[in-house]
A and B are shown apart, each in its own frame.
Chain A
Amino acid sequence: MKRTKAWLGVGITLVVVTAAVAAPWLTPHDPLRADLTSGLRPPGSPGHPLGTDQLGRDLLARVLHGARLALFIGICTVVITMVVGGVLGLLAGFVERWPSAIVMRLADVQLSFPFILLAMTINAIVGLGLRNIILSLSAAGWVVYARVIRGEVLSVKQRDYVHAAAALGIGRARLLWRHVLPNVAPSIVVVASLQFSQFVVAEAAISFLGFGVQPPTPAWGSMLAEGRDFLYVAWWLAAFPGAALALTALGVNLLGDWLRDTFDPKLRV
């Protein structure tokens, strides 16, 4: 069962990544080109395997290009939150005293706002668009890293090899860099993989509500929002972008579970 899940995770993730990278070569259609003479064609229509939307744009092309956007946003957000949350977590765990208190209170406050609500509100205030959604997701998402990494650092710090290194007179910066960081790195990777799908789904939810990536850019969330208006006549407009999103989340989740079981079985996020 475990192996099946791991392989399934790797397989699905590879499919999604391939779809994203090779999108322009997998379909001859431009995801933005409208053709009003062929609007709302059902799946299986000649030349349009997944059908077309209300403006006659090819749905397959839009879903494939949506994968690019979703993965791009996911990767950017994970990298930013990993660096920011990781540094704050390391600092809070390593220095303790007031830096720890400040970071942890900040985390408490931030966790008192539901993730989606916070990211959405920030986005509505600072302005919509791709760059801002990445920044607002990051602003709402760094906390999990900071908390997990701080906990890990606190426990790694007590290990004998760290004490030994400190006793040898190694500087604090070097101690942190050479002896503590490599030992919390697996947890960082595991958290990143578990957070990734959360970010991708959150971005879609926020775009769905209208505060994220704006049409006509083919983002799965805004495609779902358009599909919602046509639910009575064209189920495929909502079905396929959502299925792509669920598939991506599934693949990355399975991959994350496998990484956790392998590197850090005790970790709970």
Chain B
Amino acid sequence: MRGYVLSRLAQTALVVFLSLTAVFGMVRLGGDPVLLFMPMDIQAKDVNEFRQRLGFNDPLPVQYGRFLAGAVRGDFGESLRYRRDAMGLVVERLPATLLLGSTSLLLTLLVAVPLGIVSAVRRDTLVDHVGTVATVLGQATPGFWLGLMLIYLFSVHLRWLPTGGTGTAAHLVMPSIVLAAFFAARIARLTRSAVLDALHEDYVQTARAKGLAEVRVVGKHTLRNSAIPIVTLAGLEAGQLLGGAVITETIFAWPGVGRLTVQALLNRDFPVVMAAVFLTSLTYTMLNLAVDLLYGWLDPRVRVRA
């Protein structure tokens, strides 16, 4: 296990380093990066002065070194709009995103896993068919459309829930449902097929043959063995929740990292964009690491192979 943990840690460190490099390269995709880092109201004659001051005249390796040196201290420069430390702004928004993300993940697992299990155990019954229709529709429905329709129904029409913002539990209801819908559909499908696979294994037949109650057969022998693909996907999806949060947070005016990123892009506030994109990538990479470690703990075979 120790070797496995160490090799995962080394890989993670490499990915974090490379993603920092990607963030550095990204702002240079459009050509002249100085255009992304100057205040909007600048005169053409001052551009060169800015270029000099921001260090864009230095050789690329020097710029890169300076960027890395700043980044490891969490220094991505100052927000052009708020005149504050860019990373500080992003970190301030992190709790809101984590709250929304974890509520959605919890909701996803609470709905999707039982639905998947029941669909598999009661295969080809009404429950299974209803479940299939729900998951197929859930996967096809774009979150931002679902969000708008829910706002129309519950806020505009029925006036039950606030259209957006934060503060009370009622504010959390629609954003977490919207964020959870797509992932719940995926996880329910995967749970169903993982449980179906496990139900056909020899050890399940053995358990049945020796006269165990079906509840025990499913609860003990099947579920444990279908847990691995479910945990893997749930972990990967937890990362994708961060991407989905970009849209959901914007629709519901949820003050998280996703909304901040969109606003920073609209304001062309690139120090904040870089900090936010990097922090999202870092969170995602850490989640993946956690999943990998959990995976190694759940399934000893993985440790040996790695």
Contact = CB atoms under 8 A, between A and B. Distances in A.
Contact of B243 (A105, A115, A208): A115
B170 interface: no
Contact of A121 (B26, B137, B142, B156): B26
Given A117-B277, A125-B30, A224-B145, A109 B239 contact: no
Contacts of B273: 121, 124
A5 B128 CA distance: 14
Interface stretch (A34-42, A91-99, A230-238): A230-238
Interface residues of B, number: 50
Contacts of B132: 1, 5
Contact of B247 (A205, A238, A245, A250): A205
A105 B284 contact: no
Nearest to B31: A126
Contact of A235 (B152, B246, B265): B152
Contacts of A209: 246-247, 250, 262
Nearest to A12: B140
Contact of A246 (B26, B36, B140, B247): B140
B246 A117 contact: yes
A129 interface: no
Interface in B21-62: 22, 26-27, 29-30, 36
Contacts of B22: 109-110, 113
B285 A112 contact: yes
Given A124-B265, A126-B30, A250 B136 contact: yes
Contact of A210 (B18, B36, B152, B266): B266
B243 A114 contact: yes
Interface in A223-263: 224, 227-228, 231-232, 235, 238-239, 242-243, 245-247, 249-250, 253-254
A114 B280 contact: yes
Size band of the A side of the interface? 35 or more
B176 interface: no
A120 B145 contact: no
B152 A231 contact: yes
Nearest to B239: A114
A112 B19 CA distance: 8
A245 B144 CA distance: 11
B139 interface: yes
A253 B27 contact: no
Interface string B127-139: 0010010001101
B243 A201 contact: no
A165 interface: no
A69 to B, nearest CB: 15
B15 A211 contact: no
A228 B258 CA distance: 19
B145 A246 contact: yes
Given A5-B136, A204-B142, A249-B139, 7 more contacts: A1-B124, A105-B18, A114-B246, A121-B265, A125-B30, A205-B142, A238-B152
Interface of A: 1, 5, 105, 108-110, 112-117, 120-122, 124-127, 197, 201, 204-205, 208-211, 224, 227-228, 231-232, 235, 238-239, 242-243, 245-247, 249-250, 253-254
15 contacts: A1-B132, A105-B14, A109-B22, A114-B243, A121-B26, A122-B26, A124-B273, A125-B36, A208-B247, A211-B265, A228-B148, A231-B151, A246-B140, A253-B136, A253-B139
